[in-house]
Structures are given as structure tokens and as C-alpha cells.
Structure 1
């Protein structure tokens, strides 16, 4: 009877709290019992002193994600000066910027699965991204599914493979063992929160349980909110100015963000079974969808055509997989993992052009609809193993493995007119012609990484990896007829390309004295060109993009030196780095060219006009140098109460490409200083962080690769700014905690550099008035805002 009562009470609390948080109704029967037999675990000896963390590596664990009220990737890197988020306009963000590179040059993975490419060929961005008809961003991960994030700075293809030129962001999802420890057979976690900067409500439920040799995890999260507010809102800016073509710029000069409704839903399920204490088989299912519905009032064309333009940008990811784990007392490995995964990522944009009320012309009024999608499917198999060995005063940790994957990249287009009042009646034929060549790739890799410790004085790291990437175009009957004809003629139809890349890493840590460590690291990375960079073709007289199937893969080499001072009081690390990029790919204007073309009769003819022509080409090199400072001081070491601390982080970076061309992705100097107190029993805590962002100097920017001496026009809005944030929490008993934070406490108005460099001069979206910069207020960062979460754990 006692056992039934103990099982019933948490269930009642779970139902009550689920209702309070407005989580989705959940009906489940969970059988939880003690393990059938005692499991003899291997004894693990933990040895004591603090050691220096790896150069260029930071891990953000679940506890920190919760403590800092992290709801998205902007929050995740808020206090890390060495990394920022690349803005992607209406549809969200476009990955990360690290050490002078961004987008696809910073690898992103979830449990070892590479996330979608941004299709970031600058040619594609200029033509289609500039009009907002494609969702060209990288997909995001639901952070409530994540147990740990590793941020790697500097070249590191040994860890992350293709794309880790400047670094990598590696997500690891939760598992049942994160919650079922110390003999606990069940876990119930409920969380709800609100973020004022986007009026976002969040609810999340985490359930974990063990029954006999089986265990499982279920995480369900929902979010719904609105557009991210700019500083102070404000009224629209209406300009009387028009250019010589009499185009009104009222739309791009809009001062407030476009109205937007956002919603996301995420499900993570993991189920596993221990056949023996040393053999474990588990399966995973993950499903995530995010919708951003926007009334695009700032769109240039919506004010030229006097139509109302509505958008829905959808990011969808689904993953299924199996993992087998084996542990050996003696053998070629201590642990072995086999992973087989299938991943689907869809990035879609739907557009509706609807006449304004005063322009409706009766029952025959037409609405224009367009849907364009980018689809990336991945099948992947990986094997990895780890082994530890000791010989007298020497210890050796080694990991090795291999992997292979097959990816397919497709796109779609659908557009037509329909009657406004009778949407089933079409006003035109459905156009399904595609703009991009579909492609597939096959990737293989093998690696071996080692860490050798010589007593407590010296730690040596040596690793190598070899990657092979094969890509080819796929035939399609859906391409625009003219584009298809030219592709066949230029021998780009069913084209193949292959890239082979060795990657290396070597590091040496020398403990001069127990509290002082000198560190050094050398590492390399590569990025194979995207399929768009090689084969994107757009034969238009006003903007001609020529493919370049002869592109080389990009390479980077990183050298880093550091000194780490550590002890019971905390730690302080100063490091300097130099990263050299080779074969940098950029979108280059190659001149006005009179092109030959293949007409519909199959004859080669010379066009009668000269087209401004662009092409993706390799630069020779780029160099980035910088200094980073990180430290934490536990102030009880000088007599203050236990739990009092202060921390600091700062980053200074400079660099340029060939002929001293500035790199816009470089962040100006920024630093964070924090001080706070956390009760030793974690009953409550409070902290403040002071952040400083230096302005971006005009001479450190460039307008374009072919206009290196012209600064980025919107850099003049960059200013020095100090921001103050307050964060605190209170624990109610042992089960419920309340966390809250106030950000930009003094309501400073400022523009982040990543936002300013995302503004376009060309196209119809993400723009301001080019001459007057009317509408720049729309891109200001949020003013004073707050975040609050309430969490219960049983």
C-alpha cells in the first residue's frame, strides 16, 4: 500500500502542474519498478585538482542553460564575446559567426548529425534571398531538448568535419541517464516561461522512467509569441522622398518591426533496453517545426503594387535513429557506439499577395500564391570507440571511428493566381519550374584522436582525420526550360565533383607549477563548396551568374597559445590565436560580358547585349588574429561569503583578406564582467552582468569584394554601448524554482553589428531607405525586457 501511495502523489502533482502550465494534455500509464537484478558497476576513481580547460573550447551544460534563462541561440551566446549569431531577417537566424567567418563556415551538429546548409551561395542570396521568397537560413535546435552544447573556436574538422573553418557548435540531446541516477526510477519535469522581448510563452514537459531493463525519455515543448521588439517601438516613419522612377519607399522606411506570429512544437522520444549491463540498444525520434507568419509591411514591392504581402516561413526537422552501445572490461575499447540515423530538414516559404480592401475589384479579384522549398535529407552511419590505458606514470586516452553518409538536396516551386472569393478557381496555370539544380553527396571519414598524459606535468594531444566528399548534380524535368537547356549545353548536367581533405590537431599543455599551465594548439579544417556555389546558374541579361565547377575546397589553419592560472579560488586564462584561411570562396563581379547562348532551335548564338556577370571564385587567403580572456574568481577566497563570485570574458580580433579587404563577419571588441552570489545550498541567487560592445569602425568594413575601399553604408549606426543585466532565482522547497532576469536594465538604444551587416541595399526585404536610412530604427535591439520561468522537478 505504501508503494502505491508514493507512486500516486507525484502523478497528481504532475497532472495539476501540467494544467497550470497549459501544456498539451498527456495521458500515459507508466510502470516503474526496481531493476530485476543488481548490476555490478566498475569502480571509477576521481582525482582532485582543477586543471586547465582546452584551448578554444567551452561547454554549456543544462544547469547553465537554465540558470541564464536561455531560450534561443541569441541568449546562448549573450555572454560569450568570441561568438555571435548571424542574423537572417524575417525568417530567423543563419547560424553563428566565429573568428571572422559565419554561416556554413561554422559547423553545427546535433548528436553528430550535420545540420542544414544555409544554401549560402552569395549568388543565391543576392537573387532569391533578397526578395524573401526562399527560407535561406539554417535551421535551429529546440534548446529544451539539449543537455549540453560544446562551442569550439578555431579550425577543428577533426571533431566536426566539413564546415568547421572558424569553429563549431555541437549540440547533445538529453538521454534517460541524465535523470535516472542514484537509483531513481522516474523523473517528472515541468517548465513554463515568458519572454517579453517577443511576447513568447513557453511550456515544456520532460518525463523519464525505468522499468526493469528498459528506460525512456519524453520531452515535449511548445512556444508561441510575436516579432522581436525594437527599442521603444515607435511610430512608422513616412517619407515623401521618391526616386526618379517614382517608387514609394514608405515600406522600407517603416520604423517598427513587421507584425509576426511565431509558433514552434518539438517532440523528443528516446527508448532503450539493457540486454546485459554491458550492452544497450536505444532508439530516438525527434520532431521540430517552427512557423513564422509575417505581415510584411516593410516589403518594397507591397507598396509599389499596393498589395498586402503575407509570409509564412517554416523550418521543419525530423530525425529517427538507432544506437548500440557496448562496454568491455578488457579489449580494444572500453566503450563502443554504433549509430544509424535518418534526418529530414525542410525550409519553406509561402507567400500570399492580397489586394488591399480599396483595390478589390469585385468577384474576379485575384490573389497570388507562391511556395518555395529547400529540402535536405541525410542518411548517416557512424562507429566510434574509446579506450583508456595506464603504464606507470603515463596514461593514454584514445578515440577512433569512421562514418559514412548520403545526402540529397532538392528544391520546389509552386506559384499561381486564384480568385480571392473563390480560391478553388485558378486564375492561371500552376507554375512548378524550379530554379536550382538538385544534387546529392556522399561523405566518408575516418579519425583517430589521442591524449597522452605524462604524470601531472605534461599533456599531449595528437589527432588526425581523413574526409572524402563526392557530389553530383541530378537530372530534373522541373527546371525552367531555358536554364535546363543551358545546363545541358554547358556540360553541367549530371556533373560530378570530388574533394579529399586530411585534418590534423596537435596540442601540448605544460604545468609549470600546479597552478599555472602553458597551452598550445595547432589544428586544421576544411569546407567543401556548397552545391550552389559550384553549380548555381542564372542566365539573365541584367544579372548573369556563371557556374564554377572548378572551385577548390576552403582550408584553414589555426595556431593558438594560452596561459591558464587556476586554483581553489577559480581560474584566469589569456590566449592568442592566428587563423589563416585559404581558397576563401566569394561572389565576384567579373565584368560585363556578351554571352553565347543556346536557343530553342539548338543553335549557338551570341546575345546582342552585355550582361553584368558574377561568379563564385576562390580568394587566395585571409588572416585573422585575436586575443581572448576568460576568468572566474570565487570571492570566498578573500573572506567574502561562500557563493560570492565574479567573472570576466573579453575578445579582441582583427583580420583581412587579400589586398587588405576587411572581413565584415569580424566582431568589434566586446567584453563582459559579472558579479553575483549563489546560496551554497542553491536556495537562491542573484547576479549582474555588465557588457560592453565597441562600435564597428568604418575602415574595418567593406561594401563588397569588388568595392573593398567603400565601407559598409550602415556602419555609421554602430556605437559604443554598455548594457546591464540582472538575473536571479529562488528555490521553493526542493521541487520548484523560479528564475527571472531583466535585460538592458537602463533601456539603452543600440544596434548590434550582426544586425547592421544583415541589412540589404538590393532587393525588397530586410532593407531601409538607401539614401536617408529611413527605417533603420526597425533594426534596433530590444530595449528593457524581462524573462521569467517557473520549473518543477520530481
Structure 2
């Protein structure tokens, strides 16, 4: 009998569910001194803004721990989420990785926060040669500072406000207590590693201390590397047909410092400071000899980039125990994110010139969260309520300098300098009923937001508000089997780029629209979770309905602009539905394999439709399946894993009508292998071989909007066979 891939996957799911319903719970058979990792035994914060076992959460939440990042030799956010079903990160070349995509929603439709600090949305000029000189991206994160990355899959605006239309990514950096034992203690750790994909060397020094009522943490990381390689068979030539990465070098530093003081049993205050800085320079050989029009043949192309993220914050924890609240946690943060790009070249029309493009985002953010626990008979209510607000200033500064004469000319950016203010208040009740067998969570939030163009801009102010809600429930049928369901809402306030982008390109023009309203979403999700001594699983189905999508509309009635006048309007409606499965099977328990052997499986399927045109959505990922086999020796001194990732193709009708001539994203299968060995106490050596069979492939995000006949297709490929090693020692 011949089984299809779908039939085989269904059989695996069915068998695991059956095992979960008939066997004792997993914890009873954990290895001595070491609890087996499952998809359900994690504690998450982002789903309810409080610490909860994932089995009590009524939605899909993925958590990637620092230990998992170390095991997979993660170097950036793209690596960190590559095994998370329904989540991905694209990006290549000079500007590196981009933003997150969650179940078909990407960039500004996904909320990103670090230690409760909202990260600015990416800015991309998105217009031909202009896009080659300016990019403002969400890629200024140091992986070695992170304790965990949590991904809320689906609208999360009832907790986090704007931009959580399609989900939220919540990153938490390490705290002293993550590294220290009980009582006065000191920790010191050193880690170094090499990754062949970008030829990067990294060193990380971590120090933590607790002395009496004081706790402190310092993490310093330095990395030197190059532009991430493409597949090895790309042409190593100059010009737009170049298939290899450009000779571009970068140096990256990150410093994270934290200091906490336990004032008394009820009060704890803390200060956090972080500085991320990346400097890059190199030759842009992929643009060498490119002719845009007569007089504009680009030669002697060079790039000089500086990207930085700075933040300073103060926080206060109060165990109040009064009638209004048991706990109060508030924090005030300042953050500056800045990208400075210098692009030098020569053309006959302009001579030797430098185009400086700088983008800067300054913000002040405040958040206060109250918690109250109420007990009524056999039920318990965990109330969470609070208020948040932010003031944000975004500016672009463009200057062209003739390097032959020294003359500088200010250029007009596509959007004006503008301030944005957002504030909101929220309330949530998580109810534990029927001796904790039933968990119901309800939440409501109100947000108001305003954008105000500054300077001598003629653009008008934009105001809007939104109310979002969620209601979900989890029912534990047995200690190892539960079902859940949730309805949730999300919204995305128009970005400054949506509201005020203006550009005239000769035969066409783009006009601003400050009257745009927020995009909105309604999400429905059903799921099951199960675990026993044989393994664990989670299966979720979802349907997301999006309205008021901001889309471009073109008017060709003006003869002055034969290619059209483009304006953004709220007209789009879309739906995305699908299913995701994540499971782990302990082969030693299920099939008497060697102790410590396990397998894992994840499948993510999604389908999206533009409800106005009936066409597909470009942002929806193809069917993705990941199968893994691993072994952890009972001694806990060595082990390894093999992961096989298969991604279906995205071709033809899988692309939207606007991109019907898009190049195909062929299906691919990639094999990764990792291993670890502890040669002595507190020392760990790790190694990994990635894309072991040297498969040539593209991530669909990196070729969206790229026609099949576009030059430099090979320059958008992912690295071929590559490897990495790391060595860490804890003192």
C-alpha cells in the first residue's frame, strides 16, 4: 500500500493522540535528574502577560529558549525561528535579515518587543535603485543576550495594542536570576564561535553577581563577519548577473547591563541599559556597470553603513497585597534606533558622489501592569489590568555630496519628519474553574493613536482609535489531554509610510493619504494538546479574517502621469486559514530504542485569499514539514540531532494577480545536523553542519515581487553547505 505525505502525517498524529489518551503523564518517566523537553512543559508570559504553563493558554504560542538557540548554533533571528511552524524571517544582502512573518502576516503587521520595549516598524523605500541605498530594519538584536523568544501566532492586540494584527514576537533578555543560584553567588561565562555562512567569529562574555540585596548582569558580545553567502554555484562576476555575495565586511558589538536592588520584601527596582552597534563596509559589485539610463552607468560602487539601537529603562516591582492589586510592575524606557547608510559611486551625469541616507526613531515608552488574584470557592480569578503609552519621533535625512567638488545638496525624503503618540488601557481575567479543569480567559483593550507631521510639512494630522477583545478557553479532559478554543482581534494603525509617503518618478506619482484607518482582524482558533511518557503534541486549526487592508490604488486619468497616480486606501479584505502540528515522540519509551533517543515532527499549512479579487496572498508560506531525530546520552555529556526541512514550491497561481509573473520558488529539502559534547564540567563544545547536501534554494519572502527574468536571481539564494562551531565555559 502506498501512502501520501499527508496520509503519513495524519497517521502519526492519530497514533500520538491515542497514546496521549491511554498512558500516564510524561513527568513520571523523565530521565533521572533531567526532565524531558516537551512542547507543553514550558512556561510562557506573552500569551497573558503573566507566567502561565503553556497547557493553560487558549492559543498557539511558540517559545524558543536560550538553550535551544545554543543547541542550533543560532546567529540571528532568522536562525532562531527556522524550526517554528508558521513563522519565518527573510532577508539577504547588504541590509541583512528583515522582519517576522507569522501565518502570512509580516513586517508592520507583527508586533515586536524586547523586554517590554516596542520596536519600530521597518522602513523600506521599495522603489528600484532607491531601495539599494536605504533600509531601516528590525534586525538589531543580539541572540546571546536573549533568555527566550515567544511568538504569539494570531492577533494579540487585546494585550499589546497596535501592530499585533497578525501576531506578536516577545523577546526577553537574560536576568541575573537566570544565571545565579540561591543566595550570594557569582557567575562568569565565556563563549566563542565561528559560522562559515558569513565567516563570522563571535565572542561573548557574561558576568552576573548577587551580593545581599544587589543583583547585576553584564553581557558583552563582539562579532566580525561578512555578508551572508549565497549558494556556491552563483556566478562570481561583476554586475547585475552576479550570483555571489558582495565583498562586504561588518563588525558588531552589543553591551547589555542590568542592576537590581531589593529595597525590602515588597519593593524591587532595576535599571537596564543596552547598546547595539554594527558597522559595515564593502564593494557593491552586484551594481558595477549597471546602466539605468543614458549618463547613469554605475561604477566604483561602495557602501558604508552604521546601525545602532540604544535603550535605557527603569522598572519597579511592588508586592502590594492591597484590595486593588496584589502586584504592580511598571517600567519607563527610552530607545533610539538609527540607520546611517553611505553609498558611493560614479556616473557620467553625477561624477563621484556619496548618497547619505539616515533614518532615526526616538521613543519614550511607559507601561504599568497590575495583578490581582481572587478566590471564590473552587474557582480562582487572575486579574491583569494596566495602561501603556508611547511617544515616538521618526525622521529621515537625505544628502547627496559631490566628492569631486565637495558640494552637498539636501534631498527630500519620501516621508516627512513626524511624531506618533499611542496610549491604551487593558483588562484581562483568567478564570480557573472546576478544580482547574476549565480555564477561561477574557480580555478587552482600548487604544488611541495619533500621527503629527512636523517641520514645514503641509500634511495633516491623523487620528484613530480601536477596541479589541479576546475570549478563549482550555478544558483539561485528563492530566495529559486538553482542548482549547479562542476568538481574538487585532489591529494595525497606519504607519507613517502608509500615511505620508510621497514621490514623483517622472511618468508616475505616489500621493499621501492621512485619512487612512486602522487595519483590523478577527481570528478563530481550535486546538488539542496531549502528552504522556511516549511524547507530546499540539494540533491547531485557525481562520483569520482581515478587513480594511491598506492597499495601493492607481488612477491613470491624469495625462501628466501616464503610468498612473498611486494612493493608498482602506479597501482590502483577506482571509488566511490553515493548520499546524508540533509533536515529539520518545523512541526509547515507545519502541525500546536506546535511552535518550527521540523524534520530532512539525507541519505548517496555510492558504490565503484576497477576498476582493479571489487571488492568492504573496505573504502566505508554502506547506512546510520538519522531521527531526535526536539523541541525548543518559550521561548528559553528549548528543546530537538531525533535522530535515521540506518546503513545498510557490509557483503560478500561488502568487497574487499583481505578481503573476513572479519567479517560481521551487520546493526544497534541507538537512541540518548538530552535535554537542561536554569534555569537562562546565565546558560545552557544539558543532553543526547545515544544508548538508548543498541544496540550492530560495526563501519565498526573498523573491516576492521578483519577475522570472530578473537579473541576479542567484544572489537571492540561501547559503549552500555551511557549518558552525561554538565553545562555551562557565566559571
The TM-score with structure 1 as length reference comes to 0.81
What is the DSSP-based 3-state SS (H/G/I as helix, E as strand, rest coil) of the residue aligned with 1:777?
Answer: helix
1:480-559 mapped onto 2 (5 Å cutoff)? 488=458, 492=459, 495-559=460-524
Is 1:711 aligned to residue 660 of structure 2? yes
Match of 1:255 in 2: 243
Match of 1:785 in 2: 722
Gaps of at least 5 residues in structure 2 are 1-51
Q: Deviations over 1:281-302 (max 9, x none)?
A: 1111100012332311112665
Match of 1:440 in 2: 419
What is the DSSP-based 3-state SS (H/G/I as helix, E as strand, rest coil) of the residue aligned with 2:462?
Answer: strand
Residue 566 of structure 2: which of 610, 614, 639 is its match? 614
Is 1:176 aligned to residue 128 of structure 2? no
1:591 to partner: Cα distance: 1.9
Q: Deviations over 1:454-504 (max 9, x none)?
A: 11421111111111101111124xxxxxxx6xxx4xxx2xx2111111111
Q: Deviations over 1:386-425 (max 9, x none)?
A: 2333333212222111011111111111221123xxxxxx
- The 1-side partners of 2:678 and 2:380 are apart by 42
Query: Aligned in 2, Cα 1:692/1:580: closer, same or farther, shift over 3 Å?
Result: same
What is the DSSP-based 3-state SS (H/G/I as helix, E as strand, rest coil) of the residue aligned with 1:431?
Answer: strand
1:724·1:745 contact (CA, 8 Å) conserved in 2? Answer: yes
Aligned length: 672
1:589 to partner: Cα distance: 2.0
Match of 1:337 in 2: 329
Q: Deviations over 1:544-588 (max 9, x none)?
A: 111112211100111001122222332122111000111111223
Match of 2:445 in 1: 465
1:534·1:547 contact (CA, 8 Å) conserved in 2? Answer: yes
Query: Aligned in 2, Cα 1:747/1:435: closer, same or farther, shift over 3 Å?
Result: closer
Query: Aligned in 2, Cα 1:775/1:324: closer, same or farther, shift over 3 Å?
Result: same
Q: CA RMSD in A?
A: 2.3
Residue 364 of structure 2: which of 370, 379, 386 is its match? 379
2:508·2:562 contact (CA, 8 Å) conserved in 1? Answer: no
Match of 2:642 in 1: 688
Q: Deviations over 1:582-617 (max 9, x none)?
A: 1111223222414xxxxxxxxxxxxx6656211112
Match of 2:265 in 1: 277
Query: Aligned in 2, Cα 1:782/1:620: closer, same or farther, shift over 3 Å?
Result: closer
What is the DSSP-based 3-state SS (H/G/I as helix, E as strand, rest coil) of the residue aligned with 1:350?
Answer: strand
1:200·1:226 contact (CA, 8 Å) conserved in 2? Answer: yes
Gaps of at least 5 residues in structure 1 are 1-47, 238-249, 360-364, 420-425, 477-483, 595-607, 705-709, 762-769
1:651 to partner: Cα distance: 0.5
Is 1:206 aligned to residue 191 of structure 2? no
Query: Aligned in 2, Cα 1:301/1:525: closer, same or farther, shift over 3 Å?
Result: farther
Match of 1:119 in 2: 123
2:288·2:300 contact (CA, 8 Å) conserved in 1? Answer: no
- The 2-side partners of 1:263 and 1:592 are apart by 50
- The 1-side partners of 2:184 and 2:677 are apart by 25
Match of 2:88 in 1: 84
Residue 633 of structure 1: which of 585, 589, 592 is its match? 585
Is 1:665 aligned to residue 622 of structure 2? no
Is 1:676 aligned to residue 630 of structure 2? yes
What is the DSSP-based 3-state SS (H/G/I as helix, E as strand, rest coil) of the residue aligned with 1:498?
Answer: strand
1:427 to partner: Cα distance: 4.1
What is the DSSP-based 3-state SS (H/G/I as helix, E as strand, rest coil) of the residue aligned with 2:243?
Answer: coil
- The 2-side partners of 1:140 and 1:609 are apart by 39
Q: Which has the higher strand share?
A: 2
Query: Aligned in 2, Cα 1:536/1:234: closer, same or farther, shift over 3 Å?
Result: closer
4+ aligned runs moved over 6 Å, structure 1: none
- The 1-side partners of 2:467 and 2:129 are apart by 35
- The 1-side partners of 2:467 and 2:92 are apart by 32
Query: Aligned in 2, Cα 1:336/1:746: closer, same or farther, shift over 3 Å?
Result: same
Residue 291 of structure 1: which of 279, 289, 297 is its match? 279
Match of 1:475 in 2: 455
Is 1:190 aligned to residue 190 of structure 2? yes
1:302·1:309 contact (CA, 8 Å) conserved in 2? Answer: no
Is 1:576 aligned to residue 522 of structure 2? no
- The 1-side partners of 2:362 and 2:718 are apart by 35
What is the DSSP-based 3-state SS (H/G/I as helix, E as strand, rest coil) of the residue aligned with 1:251?
Answer: coil
Match of 1:605 in 2: none
1:541·1:611 contact (CA, 8 Å) conserved in 2? Answer: no
1:235 to partner: Cα distance: 3.5
What is the DSSP-based 3-state SS (H/G/I as helix, E as strand, rest coil) of the residue aligned with 1:104?
Answer: helix
1:366·1:427 contact (CA, 8 Å) conserved in 2? Answer: no
What is the DSSP-based 3-state SS (H/G/I as helix, E as strand, rest coil) of the residue aligned with 1:158?
Answer: helix
1:374-453 mapped onto 2 (5 Å cutoff)? 374-419=359-404, 426-431=405-410, 433-453=412-432
2:215·2:259 contact (CA, 8 Å) conserved in 1? Answer: yes
- The 2-side partners of 1:97 and 1:51 are apart by 24
- The 2-side partners of 1:322 and 1:270 are apart by 10
